[in-house]
Chains A and B, each alone.
Chain A
């Protein structure tokens, strides 16, 4: 809403580097390893293998807990994830996951929404989170001084365990949500995103977006029911990083989850069917066409993920050094932003190439994209490209774990997707083990022409 006062020559990074492009380690741990730190670049892999300090346990409530003690800053971050994303919403109720998460703060226990907002502000704490297709997340950042910390955690416990979902607030938020949907239906980027999801996930909740009808159909009972079924302790993943001890973290995790509803547990969305190759054109008066090319590709934990991730760096994940950027932007000036990403989910998450280009030249741009993709699938990266990709991903680990906020994201993904605790320690070795042959065969298996969907919004 606010005016943007900065403009940048590179577009913002797209999703897809994802968890596996990052690593995890207590910052304190690194600081103490002075000798290794000095040699970090050369020894990144051996450093990352040695002694990552993620602590894990199951709270008496049944919640899984992941913890990093990080004592440098007087702050605490906590996130709780539930299998409560859009994929678990009953048919015809798309939007329920987001509304349920959003209305946790609309009233809880004896507090109304103004009291909740006021208390948070008074202690300088921030409550956040959101819902995607797999999970709903509630996150808290607070100072660790005792009155602030205690008050913040108590508030988090209350909104998670005892939301009241007031009817009046629900009506207001439904109206705001419907207004946003109608607005989004006029925007080429939003239209393209929704049409792409629908086209690559036919008859699957991953492909469903909220509409005016589905949001209108949502009732207070739906929220109460969804919360009861999906916000249970047994399915909860608690991630904690900050200036607290293990004993304090144990108490925090239990306190936050002991009063959650009894439901929850391992949930898996229905199986994903691959789409038939197709091109979808949507009329719109925009100056630029918005293009998405892709398909459902890979789930969390699939062994082909590392080859796809490393391979995607060269194709379109590596920013300015990627082939798509060179061919589409640098050589031809067709686009400001062109990228590809792989975003694994509980089930097959998307592989996607995206760009925006002047509508008159979208055919030419799409031809270049398809040539680059076909050539890459057929031949894979060159030895030089593969080495450069590995070097960036391995040496760049340090950047991806240099703040508590970043580490919190990795903790929660490891916990929610059931990845091994050593997963990030293993990262450099896994990246370095990828061969060009593996990349070729992984792309051949997961990015098949027969399933590739193209969506063009604002096509002539």
Chain B
């Protein structure tokens, strides 16, 4: 039991500019499972997440989408739990649960009143090892996943462009495959494919648990040992690097789909963060993305949407914290009456301007202010804090690096931003994908690919 003194103490810590206390806490079980606990006692709730280092990049051709399909099947039965019972238990505890699959990982979570945390850990530990997969459950669920693909991708013109962009810019690297899987692969997937995936990758030594909320880390560690500690470590499949060969020449693709506005996405190959202490370019690229599109006063909004009015919308993004290969992406929709070519020229002119003239100290200061404020605002959400820890761990970095990352970002200079703009934005490593809008009235219903149709 905590007294109101505890609340006062927390207050004192919360307003201190740079907390140095031990929170979060981490332990590692004998089976290899890491458990990371961040105590945040503002409300009597907790977020419980389990992250598996197995995402779509670990799949093989022919079974694309299986990481995500298995994620759906994880809500079916285990040796001791009937199908659907997992969701029911979470709901009856007053909680919410979900899961998500990315290229790098698959993660599951429950947000619950804190008293329900032990039960959630028990349930999550159970399905780490005891999932029962069968042909019948699979047959119904694979249809759901195909509906999801139709909703997310097949009827979504911009998503089709992204899918095509990825499969064009990557030819060897597994990032070329869509997370949801090709429809033809989904149509030919079997329950054994999902079972094999589960057997290969779902192991304590390929997972970590992140818990944020009104908890005592020692109690959580004890519960983790009790529920997760019983599982045995497994030998994991070998992970081949599958590095993308160097691109030598611009690639252009287009996608036709029913739409009104065209859409353009340009992706350059870029370096990811490998060595936190030595690397500089990934931080400079992140600053560049923020100068272009990090806030309402950034260059794209100011120059292209509001100023020249050439863009209906324009964006820039760089993520250097990932398992696979990094890209710097610029995208946008031309304003009505403007063409994709005009938008592309305007976007390129913005890059050129940074190459020629650099960025100002004021612009860098603004981005840094944004980043610092965002760290404070993030503390208003348990889920945001858990995602930050989990996401960083998934990329191979560590939760201890959160503050280091921010500090590194703050040291980026204007010269470094200009230098990366010059170094990485060459046509030879560029892929451009364009949406070619088709009139809705003249379009025929899209039929998914695949020879076998039921």
Contacts and interface: CB of A to CB of B under 8 A. Distances in A.
Interface of A: 1-10, 27-28, 30-32, 34-35, 37-38, 40-41, 44, 71-75, 113-114, 117-118, 120-126, 141, 143, 169, 172, 175-176, 178-180, 182-183, 185-188, 284-288, 318-321, 326, 329-337, 356-359, 388, 391-399, 401-405, 458
25 contacts: A3-B162, A9-B98, A31-B6, A37-B44, A44-B113, A72-B10, A72-B11, A73-B380, A75-B377, A113-B306, A117-B302, A124-B370, A125-B373, A176-B312, A182-B261, A185-B440, A285-B440, A319-B87, A326-B84, A337-B151, A393-B94, A395-B116, A399-B111, A401-B43, A405-B381
A121 B370 contact: yes
B261 A179 contact: yes
A5 B102 contact: yes
A178 B41 CA distance: 47
B94 A398 contact: yes
Contacts of A37: 2, 44, 214
B440 to A, nearest CB: 5
Given A41-B113, A403-B380, A32 B7 contact: yes
A264 B155 CA distance: 43
Contact of B94 (A326, A334, A395): A395
Question: In the complex, which of the residues B41, B101, B296 has the most CB atoms of chain A within 10 Å of its own CB atom?
Answer: B296
B50 to A, nearest CB: 14
A71 B11 contact: yes
Contact of B335 (A179, A335, A388): A179
B315 A2 contact: yes
Nearest to B145: A336
A399 B147 contact: no
B144 A336 contact: yes
Contacts of B100: 6-9
B398 interface: no
A287 B71 contact: no
Given A121-B370, A285-B443, A320 B84 contact: yes
A195 to B, nearest CB: 14
Question: In the complex, which of the residues A27, A35, A73, A404 has the most CB atoms of chain B within 10 Å of its own CB atom?
Answer: A73
A244 to B, nearest CB: 13
Contact of B148 (A7, A28, A179): A7
B444 interface: yes
A396 B95 contact: yes
A32 B445 CA distance: 60
A319 B147 contact: no
B91 A320 contact: yes
A34 to B, nearest CB: 5
Nearest to A105: B296
A356 B94 contact: no
A44 B6 CA distance: 22
A288 B295 contact: no
A6 B45 CA distance: 25
Contacts, number: 277
A399 B179 contact: no
A113 B297 CA distance: 9
A41 B332 CA distance: 48
A357 B362 CA distance: 51
Contact of B317 (A2, A27, A326): A2
A3 B165 CA distance: 10
Contacts of A458: 445
Contact of A75 (B41, B295, B376): B376
B350 interface: no
In the A-B complex, list the 5 residue pairs whose CB atoms are closest, starting with the nearest. A395-B94, A333-B143, A124-B373, A396-B94, A402-B43
Given A73-B380, A143-B376, A287-B445, A9 B72 contact: yes
Contacts of B440: 185-186, 284-285
Interface of B: 1-4, 6-7, 10-11, 14-15, 41-45, 68, 71-72, 75, 84, 87-88, 91-96, 98-103, 111-116, 139-148, 150-152, 154-155, 158-159, 162, 179-180, 214, 258-261, 295-297, 301-302, 305-306, 309, 312-313, 315, 317, 319, 329, 331-333, 335-336, 365-366, 369-370, 372-374, 376-377, 379-382, 437, 440, 443-448
A357 B443 CA distance: 19
A172 B306 contact: yes
B380 A121 contact: no
Contacts of A186: 258-260, 437, 440
Contacts of B162: 3-4
A128 to B, nearest CB: 10
B41 A31 contact: yes
A169 B306 CA distance: 8
A41 B93 CA distance: 8
B261 A183 contact: yes
Question: In the complex, which of the residues A7, A71, A288, A321 has the most CB atoms of chain B within 10 Å of its own CB atom?
Answer: A7
A321 B374 CA distance: 35
A398 B147 contact: no
A458 B11 CA distance: 55
A438 B116 CA distance: 30
B151 A336 contact: yes
B381 to A, nearest CB: 5
A72 B92 contact: no
A19 to B, nearest CB: 17
Contact of A357 (B147, B309, B437): B147
B222 to A, nearest CB: 17
Contact of A356 (B98, B151, B180, B296): B151
Contacts of B374: 124
A41 B116 contact: yes
Contacts of B42: 27, 31, 72-73, 402-403
Contacts of B261: 179, 182-183
B444 A285 contact: yes
Nearest to A70: B42
A391 B313 CA distance: 45
B373 A388 contact: no
A176 B301 CA distance: 13
Contact of A320 (B87, B214, B365, B443): B87
A395 B93 contact: yes
Nearest to A387: B92
A397 B92 CA distance: 12
